[in-house]
Amino acid sequence: MTRSQQPALTLFAIGLIGLGILAFIYGDFALVWQPVAAWVPGRTALAYASGVVMLLGGIGLLFEATAAISVRILFLYLILWTLLKVPVLFVTPQIEDVWLGVGELTVLLSGGWILFARLARLREGSLLSFAAGESGVRIARIVFALSLIPIGLSHLIYTQQTADYVPAWFHFRVGFARLTGIGQMACGLGVLFSILPRIAACTEAVMLSLFTLLVWLPAILAAPGTRLPWTAFFISWIITAAAWVVAGNIGVKHPAGPGA
C-alpha cells in the first residue's frame, strides 16, 4: 500500500487488536455480532480462538514481514464471520435490524478484502487470484457500496433510536438522524455508480468517524468499567477504519506484481 494509505491500515489493525483483547477479557464475541449460538459446544473456546485471530492478525498487519500472511488469514476469517450471520436473513428477512447487522459486517469485510487485494501476495494461479489486485478492489468496493444501503435505511426505520445516540447538546437530533441515514445511502449509491465515488466514500468515513468519537468515546468516559461502550467503540472504530481503507483505494492504481 502507498504511504498515504498506511494510516487507514493502522486504524484497521488497532480495531482488530482492541476487539481481540475484549474477547480475552470477556471470553465472548462482540456483543452485537454474535456469530456462534449459545448452545454450540465449546463456544467460549471459539471466542478465545477468535480473539487470538484478531489480536495476532491486527499485530501482523503492522509489520511488512507478516502483513501478507496476516491478511490472508483475516480475509478468510472475515468471510466466515459474515457467512455465519447470513442464515438469519432467511429466517427473519422482514427485520431491518438484521440487514443492518449484516451490512456492518460486510463493510468490515470490504475493508479487509481491499487489504487482502493489496497485501496478500498470492502465488500465480492461486484460486483466490480473482479476489486480489484491482479485480479484488473492485469487488470490495461494490460490497462496501451495497452495505451502506441497509445501514442508512436503519436511520429512517429506527429514527428515534438513532436520534437517542446523537449527543444531547446537538439540536434537531431526529432531523440529523434522518439526514445521516439519507447521506449514507447516497454515499453508497455514489460509490456503486461511480458518481464522485472517492468523495462519497470519504464522506461516509467522516460520518462514521464523528459517530465513533461523539457517541462511544463519551460513553466510555462515562462508564469505563462497563463492557458495552468498549465493545461498541471498537466495533464502530473498525467499521470506520474499513471505510477509510475503501476511500483510500478508490481511483488509486497499484503496479502489478508481488504486493501490488
Q: What is the pLDDT of residue 31?
A: 63
Let me know: does 181 contact 156? Beta carbons within 8 Å. Answer: yes
pLDDT of residue 257 exceeding 50, the answer is: no
Looking at residue 188, its amino acid is G
pLDDT digits (tens, 9 = 90+) for 127-157: 899 999 999 999 999 999 999 999 999 999 9
Q: What is the pLDDT of residue 216?
A: 94
Let me know: does 4 contact 248? Beta carbons within 8 Å. Answer: yes
A 10 A CB-CB count for 98 gives: 17
Ranking 8-22, 30-44, 90-104 by mean pLDDT, the lowest is 30-44
- In the predicted model, what is the mean pLDDT of the chain? 92
pLDDT of residue 258 exceeding 60, the answer is: no
Ranking 59-73, 139-153, 166-180 by mean pLDDT, the lowest is 166-180
From first CA to last CA, the distance across the chain in angstroms is 7
- Copy the grid coordinates of residue 35: 456469530
Ranking 11-15, 190-194, 226-230, 255-259 by mean pLDDT, the lowest is 255-259
Higher pLDDT, 78 or 258: 78
- Copy the grid coordinates of residue 203: 464522506
Residue with cell 475484549: 22
Burial 8-44 (b: 16+ CB within 10 A, else e): bbebbbbbbbbbbbbbeebebbbeebebbeeeeeebe
Q: pLDDT confidence of 122, banded at 50, 70, 90?
A: very high
A 10 A CB-CB count for 193 gives: 11
Average pLDDT (191-195) is 97
Q: What is the pLDDT of residue 168?
A: 86
The reported pTM is 0.92
- Helices assigned H by DSSP within 96-226: 96-119, 133-157, 159-165, 173-192, 197-211, 217-222
Q: pLDDT confidence of 161, banded at 50, 70, 90?
A: very high
CA distances from 90 to 28, 94, 103 (A): 25, 9, 15
Average pLDDT (105-121) is 96
Nearest-5° angle of CA 177, CA 182, CA 185? 125
Q: What is the pLDDT of residue 250?
A: 93
Q: Which residues contact 128 (CB under 8 A, 6 or more apart)?
A: 120, 122
Average pLDDT (175-179) is 95
pLDDT digits (tens, 9 = 90+) for 76-91: 999 999 998 888 899 9
pLDDT of residue 58 exceeding 90, the answer is: yes
Let me know: does 177 contact 234? Beta carbons within 8 Å. Answer: no
Residue with cell 442508512: 152
